Amino acid sequence: MRLSLASAVATFCVALVLYPLLNGGGWFWGSLGAVLVVLGAGALSGRLALPAWAATLVSLVATLLYLTAVFTGTKAWALVVPTKESVLALGKLLATGWADIQRFAAPVPANAGVSLLTTAGVALIAITVDLLAARLRRTAVAGLPLLALIAVPATILPDPMSWPAFILAALGFVALLIADGRERISRWGRAVLVRRTRNATGGPRETTDTRGLRLSGKRIGFAAIALAILVPALLPSMEPVSWFTFGVGGSGKGGKGNSISIPDPVVALKGQLTLPEKRTVLTYANNDNQPRYLKIYSLNLFNGDRFELEPPRGAPENRVENGPLPRAPGLGESIPVTAVTTRIRISEEVERLAFLPLPYPPSVVRAEGDWRADVESLMVFSTREDASGMEYEVVSTEPAPKPEQLDASPPVQRTEANERLLRLPEDLPEEIRELADKITAKAETPYQKAVRIQEHFRDSRNGYTYSLQTQGQSADALLDFLIYSKTGYCEQYAAAMAVLARAAGIPARVAIGYTGGTKVDDGFAVATSDMHAWPELYFEGIGWLAFEPTPTANAPLGQGTARVPPYSLPQVQDSGDESAGTATGTPGSGEVPTGGTSRSRNIRELEEDRLAGLGGVPVEESVSPVLGIGIGVLVLLLLLLVPAGVRLVTRSRRVRSLGWKVSGPQDDVTARAARVSVPVAAAWAELDDVLDDYGMARQPSETPRALARRLTEQQEFDAGTAAAISALSQAVERVLFARDPGEVGPLGKELKLVRRALARTVSRRTRLRAALLPPSTMRRLRRLGEGLLDGFDRLETIRLRRSTRTQAPSGSEGTRKELVSK
Partner 1 sequence: MAVTHDVTPDNPPRLEELVPTAHRIREAIESVIEGKSEAVRITVTVLLAEGHLLIEDVPGVGKTMLAKALARSIDCPVRRVQFTPDLLPSDITGVSAYNQQTREFEFKPGPVFANIVVGDEINRASPKTQSALLECMEERQVTVDGVTYELEAPFMVIATQNPIEMEGTYPLPEAQRDRFTARIAMGYPEPTAELEMLDVHGSTSPLDKLQPVATADEVRALIRAVRGVYVSQAVKKYAIDLVVATRHSPDLRLGASPRSTLQLIRSARAHAALSGRDYVIPDDLQDLAVPVLAHRLLPSVEAHGQRRLPEQVIAELVRRVPVPETRSR
Residues that bind partner 1 (CB under 8 A): 196-200, 203-204, 669-670, 673-674, 677, 680-682, 684-685, 688, 699-706, 732-741
Residue 416's alpha-carbon distances to 276, 331, 718, in angstroms, are 45, 19, 94
Cβ proximity to partner 1, 200 vs 226, nearer residue: 200
- In angstroms, the first-to-last Cα distance of the chain is 12
> Quick one: DSSP state of residue 697?
P
Cα 396 to Cα 321, 325, 363, 515, 769, distances in angstroms: 15, 10, 5, 16, 70
Report helix angle 52-72 to 112-130, nearest 10.
Answer: 160
How near is the Cβ of 226 to partner 1 at its closest, in Å? Answer: 25
Instruction: Tell me the CB-side half-sphere exposure of residue 186, using CA atoms within 13 A.
Output: 9
What does the radius of gyration of the chain's CA atoms come to, in whole angstroms? 37
Closer of 249 and 679 to partner 1 (Cβ): 679
Name the minimum Å distance from CB 10 to partner 1.
40
For partner 1, the closer CB: 326 or 659:
659
Q: Considering beta carbons, is residue 144 or 784 the nearer one to partner 1?
A: 784
C-alpha 235/C-alpha 96 separation (Å) is 43
Please, what is the minimum distance in Å from the beta carbon of residue 752 to partner 1? 19
CA 373 to CA 425: how far, in whole Å?
29
Report d(CA 140, CA 592) in Å as an integer: 67
Name which of 540 and 733 has its Cβ closer to partner 1: 733
* Minimum separation from the CB atom of position 647 to partner 1 (A): 14
| Residue 516 or 704 having the CB closest to partner 1 | 704
**Minimum distance from CB of 756 to partner 1 (Å)?**
22
Closer to partner 1 at the Cβ: 199 or 797? 199
Collapsing DSSP to helix, strand or coil, 444 comes out as: coil
Distance (Å, whole) CA 321 – CA 367? 7
CA atoms within 13 A on the CB side of 305: 5
Going 524 to 528 to 530 to 536, the CA torsion angle's sign is positive
**HSE-CB for 464 with a 13 A CA cutoff:** 27
* Size of the chain in residues: 822
Element (H, E) at 227: helix 204-234
Output the smallest distance, CB 813 to partner 1, in A. 37
Beta-carbon neighbour count of residue 617 at 10 Å? 11
Q: Which is nearer to partner 1, 301 or 681 (CB)?
A: 681
CB of 723 to partner 1, least distance (A): 18
CB atoms within 10 A of CB 755: 19
Residues whose CB falls within 8 Å of the CB of residue 753, separated by 6 or more in sequence, listed in order:
720, 721, 724
Name which of 359 and 741 has its Cβ closer to partner 1.
Answer: 741
Q: Would you say 56 or 650 has its CB closer to partner 1?
A: 650
Residues 687/754, Cβ–Cβ less than 8 Å: yes
Please report how close the Cβ of residue 729 comes to partner 1 at its closest, in angstroms. Answer: 10
Query: Contact, 290 vs 545, CB < 8 A?
Result: no
For partner 1, the closer of residues 602 and 657 by Cβ is 657
How far apart (Å, rounded) are the C-alpha atoms in residues 151 and 547?
Answer: 43
Indicate the residue type of 611: L
Q: How far is CA 331 from the centre of its chain?
A: 41
Nearer to partner 1, 171 or 680 (CB): 680
* Phi, psi of 89, rounded to the nearest 5 degrees: -65, -40
Contact 429, 479 (CB under 8 A): yes
Q: How many angstroms separate the CA atoms of 485 and 786, rounded?
A: 55
Q: In the complex, what is the shortest distance from the CB of residue 173 to partner 1, in angstroms, rounded to a whole number?
A: 37
In the beta sheet, which residues pair with residue 525? Answer: 283, 518
Report d(CA 664, CA 649) in Å as an integer.
30
Could you tell me where the DSSP H helices lie in 440-513?
446-458, 475-479, 490-503
CA distances from 530 to 246, 763, 812 (A): 15, 60, 53
Min dist CB 190 to partner 1, Å, is 20
Kindly tell me the burial class for residue 391, based on how many C-beta atoms sit within 10 Å of its own C-beta (0-12, 13-18, 19 or more): middle
Tell me the closest approach of the beta carbon of residue 769 to partner 1, in angstroms: 21
CB of residue 688 to partner 1, shortest distance in Å: 6
Q: Closer to partner 1 by CB, 418 or 657: give it.
A: 657
Cβ proximity of 325 and 362 under 8 Å: yes
Q: Which is nearer to partner 1, 618 or 700 (CB)?
A: 700
Cα 312 off chain centre by? 22
* Structural contact between residues 417 and 369, judged by C-beta atoms closer than 8 angstroms: no
Judged by CB, which is closer to partner 1: 47, or 198?
Answer: 198
What span, in angstroms and rounded, lies between the C-alpha atoms of 197 and 131? 47
Distance of CA 625 to the CA centre of its chain: 17
- Residues facing 337 on adjacent strands: 399
699 vs 812, which CB is nearer to partner 1? Answer: 699
C-beta of 578 vs 668, nearer to partner 1: 668
